[in-house]
Chain A
Amino acid sequence: MKSTDEATLLEWLDMEADGTLATENTAALRDGLAARPDLLGEQRLLGNLHALLAESKIDVRSGFAAQVTAALPASSWASQSHQAWRLPLAVAVGFAALAAMLLAGTSVLQDGTIGTFAAVADFFQTATLAGAGMLGATWQGVTLAFDELLVTSKASLIALTVGVLFLDLLFLRMLRRRPRSSVAHAGDDATPLGGGDGAR
């Protein structure tokens, strides 16, 4: 059997007292101590040291957890996240209602009992159609203007290409730079594992 050197035995004794000695080394430590009974004193000292450190702990005052819970802010991320849901939800519901009215406007809403709603639905339908028409016309106009500009001048084509590339780069940079509030490693006090050894 290969004998274990003193330094290793001392290290294992320390780990044993700390409860971190690997199971595969337990038998080797026992054998080592049998061969070196002078280390039994060391084992006792280390055991007593751990006991002494454990004894020196203070008690947490009673009701501490309740005090912490009571001190938690009322308006935290929880309420903020609920508030963040409210607006998109309201907008979505509003649009859904509008769509339902527009779809149903020509059939169900023709009924005289809800004639007012039918009129409002017609109004929105007409407004939407007019808006779409104007948008289409504007887009067509812009396209024509660009066509003319690009066909007549090579310099304009190059300038437009450079401009588009610049805007692409700008957009990519903005995508890479995430907002500070949503970054987990921003380096503030409550940042998980942000920065060095904690000594700021």
Chain B
Amino acid sequence: MQPTDEALVAAALAGTMDSFTALVERYQGRLVNYLFRMLRNEEDAHDLAQEVFVKIYGALNRFDDRYRFSTWLFRVAQNAAIDRIRKRRLKVVSLNRPETEEGDGGEWELPGNDPTPYRTLRNSERGEAIQLAIDDLPIEYRELITLRHYGELSYDEIATLKSMPLGTVKNKLFRGRQMLKERLRDYLTD
């Protein structure tokens, strides 16, 4: 049986380095994909994921095991991504997306040019369609869809992370997927 995240944290705190490596291996795919959807750049996503893991390691002795490691990790990642996007915004050409009521819409702007391996995915019509469909979602749906489908967080974890009632999370994910389904209908029919 796989050790729990909390057991791995405890072992890492006791000096077993392999336990922290196990945590990295457990979350690397989810974290990199979540950050990739936030930053739209594969290289940046990897770099920031590494920074997040280092930051988490540095604060591991402050981890409160009454909470889940995953929600802590993704909260740190979310904050780090928002910081990165804010810094990048000065250098980035906006696609002129109108800001939402939450005022965070601008933080999800697509970079104007992107000389990274993301080009391989973007060149694919389907990959581009998925990204655009997600980008077109209102911010509150987009965040939850990204956390669920790329961060692979459970509904409970998302509710904790976003400080939302579980019912609201379920409802927003349902609505978000309905919107995605309509926007991607051409790619979903056999």
Stretch at the interface among A25-33, A66-74, A94-102, A116-124: A66-74
Distance (whole angstroms) from the CB of B47 to the closest CB of chain A: 10
A198 within 8 A of B: yes
Contact with A along B167-190 (1 / 0, CB 8 A): 000100110011011001101111
Residues of B within 8 A of A55 (CB): 126
Interface residues on A, range: 35 or more
Contact with B along A2-21 (1 / 0, CB 8 A): 00000000010011001010
B59 touches A52 (CB 8 A): no
In angstroms, Cα B28 to Cα A45, docked, is: 30
Residues of A within 8 A of B25 (CB): 65
| Residue in B closest to A56 when the chains form the complex, CB atoms | B130
Distance (whole angstroms) from the CB of A85 to the closest CB of chain B: 12
Residues of A within 8 A of B78 (CB): 198-199
B56 touches A190 (CB 8 A): yes
Distance (whole angstroms) from the CB of B31 to the closest CB of chain A: 9
| Residue in A closest to B177 when the chains form the complex, CB atoms | A14
Distance (whole angstroms) from the CB of A38 to the closest CB of chain B: 15
Contact with A along B123-165 (1 / 0, CB 8 A): 0001100110000000000000000111000010000111100
Contact of B184 among A49, A57, A78, A196 (CB under 8 A): A49
Q: By DSSP majority rule, is chain B's interface helix, strand, loop, or mixed? A: helix
Contact of B32 among A58, A184, A198 (CB under 8 A): A58
Contact of A49 among B62, B173, B180 (CB under 8 A): B180
Contact of B61 among A46, A72, A81, A193 (CB under 8 A): A81
Q: How many residues of B contact A (CB 8 A)?
A: 67
> Tally of A-B residue pairs with Cβ under 8 A?
148
B62 touches A52 (CB 8 A): no
A23 within 8 A of B: no
Q: Which of A57, A67, A76 has the most CB of B within 10 A?
A: A57
In angstroms, Cα B188 to Cα A48, docked, is: 5
Distance (whole angstroms) from the CB of A192 to the closest CB of chain B: 4
Distance (whole angstroms) from the CB of B140 to the closest CB of chain A: 10
Distance (whole angstroms) from the CB of A188 to the closest CB of chain B: 8
Contact of B79 among A56, A60, A78, A198 (CB under 8 A): A198
Residues of B within 8 A of A49 (CB): 177, 180-181, 184, 188
Contact of B28 among A64, A73, A78 (CB under 8 A): A64
A45 touches B188 (CB 8 A): yes
- Interface residues of chain B, those whose CB is within 8 Å of chain A, are 13, 15, 17, 20-21, 24-25, 28-29, 32-33, 36, 42, 45-46, 49-50, 53-64, 67, 71-72, 75-76, 78-80, 82, 102, 104, 107, 121, 126-127, 130-131, 148-150, 155, 160-163, 170, 173-174, 177-178, 180-181, 184-185, 187-190
